[in-house]
A and B are shown apart, each in its own frame.
Chain A
Amino acid sequence: MIEAELIEKRTAKDYGLFKFKLKEKLKDPDAGQFVMLKSPDEPILAKPFSIYSYKNRKLTLFIKRVGRLTGKIFSSPIGEVFYVRGPYGIPYIKKIDRDKKYILIGGGSGVAPLNFFSELYPELVYKKLYGFKGRYIRELFEEQSSLVIEEESGKTVVDVLREVYSEGLGVLACGPIPMLKTLPPGSYVSLESVMGCGIGTCKSCAVKTKEGIKMVCKDGPLFRKEEIQWEWI
């Protein structure tokens, strides 16, 4: 695995941006792909994190604190060393219709891959809607106009989407399952899943689709909303 030294961190409550300097470069990381990141000791399993940004061996992740590994990342001082491998997963650009413009819908840490997408493919972005509950998140983002804060407006990203959506636009979304379920037909949804290996061998991140069981890590993370059998998740 590649050594990844934590060189910058900015946190706001349970969200944070973490920049790592890698000993070796990642092989052509693209938007929608993720890395498997591991602590040197506990927990023993590597966990998947979407790439928020990547340039010159510097990898930025946008992380919500939820479990033991993310807790460890949040409490780590600058200089702490983790390990990564990847990138894995099929880049969004290989799955979406490139003739459309997209509304990017992010919910919470689901904003991470969308940020990388908008950095790499600005010409395909119609509008960005990044949804969060609390206004404290504003500290972490320079581009304030993309933020949809429920605490401020009483609206969720899905409410705002209804206002701005029109026929012919694409929707590219990553976030909680209840949010993804309410999106219009034809939307592309990027799924989050508990993973073991990240490369398609361990069968931990199963998702049931119309064509049978698929793996989020190898066949996804992006799917058409209609492909997914949501009741199984």
Chain B
Amino acid sequence: MGVDLSVEVLGLKFKNPLVLASGPAGFGFELQQYLDISKVGAITLKTVTLNPREGNAPPRLVDTHGGIINSIGLQNPGIEEFVNIIAPKLKEIRTIKIGSIAGFTIEEWKILGEKMDKIKDIKAIELDLSCPNVEGKKIWAKDEELTQEAIKAARESTDKPIIAKLAPDVTDIVKVAKKAVNAGADALSLGNTIEAMRINIETGLPVLKLKTGGLSGPSIKPITLARVFRVAEALEIPIIGIGGVMNWQDALEYAMAGASLVGIGTAIMVNPQAPLEILQGIESFLRQKGVEKFEDIIGIAHRGGF
């Protein structure tokens, strides 16, 4: 008998818990040549800002033990082009689409929320409160008051489910998460990359042009996993667990810690087919364990395990 991998959350039925995390999958158009996106639960599209952004000068990426550090810098065509050119083509991407926006002011959160709200193909909106790679701009999620203000502004602009993407590198994630929920977030993405850097010892200079970037990959998984666990323990709110999921075991750990959905970012960059391998692994593990529904293992670590 087949295992039921579907997850019902945010008023949506996801065919399985895997979400292509915002960023490395772009808007899905290039990726779908290499991965059947209809096989994954959802895609969170690349973050869109009010104005077009070129992104940072290269190098934008460097690897490190157990991970990679990126400083892409929210390269995107801006909301107008997104609405007029990208959005009409989104029906080609045959899974649930979650839009992602990043405002630089309270006003921008409102405008971006309103614009996304009108796109039929977008089923939920993720607020990118935590991108570490924009020079001179504040990181909303590093401050609980700012987090609250941004979410409130976006909340007023849309009735679609709102997912707040928080930063893992804060002193008290539960405190920020509570503020986010009180401000009207329907779900939380935990988390984002963690500020990091490398220095080229030959030149004595930072490797990345932006100097610092965000660390992702297996080295951050235990850190974000603990954040997911803490928030799931304290709050009743759906969580998308994101951070260093490279294989099916990683995905299961997030689910057991309390994540309803699991994001994949770095693993798609390494191997665009990775989500399919992860899904197979999850399915066969659950079958062996005699678990009929994936939803039964969500948060099992808080309920005494198997």
Q: Report which A residues bind B (CB closer than 8 A).
A: 1, 38, 42-46, 67-68, 83, 85, 193-197, 199-208, 212-213, 218, 232-233
A83–B273 CA distance with the chains assembled, in angstroms: 13
Instruction: Flag if B60 contacts A194 (CB, 8 Å).
Output: yes
Residue ID in chain B nearest A216 by CB atoms: B58
A45–B64 CA distance with the chains assembled, in angstroms: 9
What residues of B have a CB within 8 angstroms of the CB of A42 in the complex? 65-66
A201–B43 CA distance with the chains assembled, in angstroms: 13
Q: Report which B residues bind A (CB closer than 8 A).
A: 23-26, 30-31, 33-34, 46, 54-55, 57-63, 65-68, 70, 72, 75, 217-218, 246, 266, 268-273
Taking the closest CB of chain A, its distance from the CB of B104, in whole angstroms, is 19
- Partner of B72 from the list A67, A68, A193, A204 (CB cut-off 8 Å) is A204
A1–B268 CA distance with the chains assembled, in angstroms: 12
Classify the interface of chain A: helix, strand, loop or mixed.
loop
Contact A213:B24 (CB < 8 A) given known A194-B62, A203-B60: no
What residues of A have a CB within 8 angstroms of the CB of B70 in the complex? 196, 202, 204
What residues of A have a CB within 8 angstroms of the CB of B55 in the complex? 203, 206, 213
Instruction: Flag if A201 contacts B24 (CB, 8 Å).
Output: yes
A205–B269 CA distance with the chains assembled, in angstroms: 13
- Partner of B269 from the list A197, A206, A233 (CB cut-off 8 Å) is A197
Contact A44:B271 (CB < 8 A) given known A194-B58, A203-B72, A206-B58: no
A208–B26 CA distance with the chains assembled, in angstroms: 19
Of listed A38, A42, A45, residue having the most chain B CB within 10 A: A45
Q: Closest 3 interchain pairs by CB? A: A200-B30, A204-B61, A201-B26
Instruction: Flag if A201 contacts B31 (CB, 8 Å).
Output: yes
- Partner of B272 from the list A193, A197, A233 (CB cut-off 8 Å) is A197
A213–B218 CA distance with the chains assembled, in angstroms: 30
> Total number of A-B contacts with CB less than 8 angstroms?
97
Of listed B66, B217, B268, B269, residue having the most chain A CB within 10 A: B269
Taking the closest CB of chain A, its distance from the CB of B209, in whole angstroms, is 10
A38–B271 CA distance with the chains assembled, in angstroms: 9
- Partner of B26 from the list A38, A44, A203 (CB cut-off 8 Å) is A203
Instruction: Flag if A44 contacts B24 (CB, 8 Å).
Output: no
Selected A-B contacts with CB under 8 Å, 27 pairs: A1-B273, A42-B65, A42-B66, A43-B65, A44-B246, A44-B270, A46-B270, A83-B271, A194-B59, A194-B61, A196-B269, A197-B24, A197-B272, A199-B33, A202-B61, A202-B70, A203-B26, A203-B55, A203-B60, A203-B72, A204-B61, A204-B70, A205-B60, A206-B57, A207-B58, A212-B54, A232-B58
Instruction: Flag if B54 contacts A213 (CB, 8 Å).
Output: yes
Instruction: Flag if B58 contacts A202 (CB, 8 Å).
Output: no
Instruction: Flag if A44 contacts B63 (CB, 8 Å).
Output: yes
- Partner of A44 from the list B58, B68, B75, B272 (CB cut-off 8 Å) is B68
What residues of B have a CB within 8 angstroms of the CB of A201 in the complex? 24-26, 30-31, 268-269
Taking the closest CB of chain A, its distance from the CB of B87, in whole angstroms, is 18
Instruction: Flag if A203 contacts B75 (CB, 8 Å).
Output: yes
Residue ID in chain A nearest B271 by CB atoms: A1
A204–B30 CA distance with the chains assembled, in angstroms: 14
A201–B46 CA distance with the chains assembled, in angstroms: 9
What residues of A have a CB within 8 angstroms of the CB of B266 in the complex? 44-45
A208–B57 CA distance with the chains assembled, in angstroms: 9
Instruction: Flag if B66 contacts A38 (CB, 8 Å).
Output: no
Taking the closest CB of chain B, its distance from the CB of A123, in whole angstroms, is 32
A160–B273 CA distance with the chains assembled, in angstroms: 46
What residues of B have a CB within 8 angstroms of the CB of A45 in the complex? 63, 68, 266, 269-270
Taking the closest CB of chain B, its distance from the CB of A73, in whole angstroms, is 15
Taking the closest CB of chain B, its distance from the CB of A68, in whole angstroms, is 7
Of listed A83, A202, A206, residue having the most chain B CB within 10 A: A202
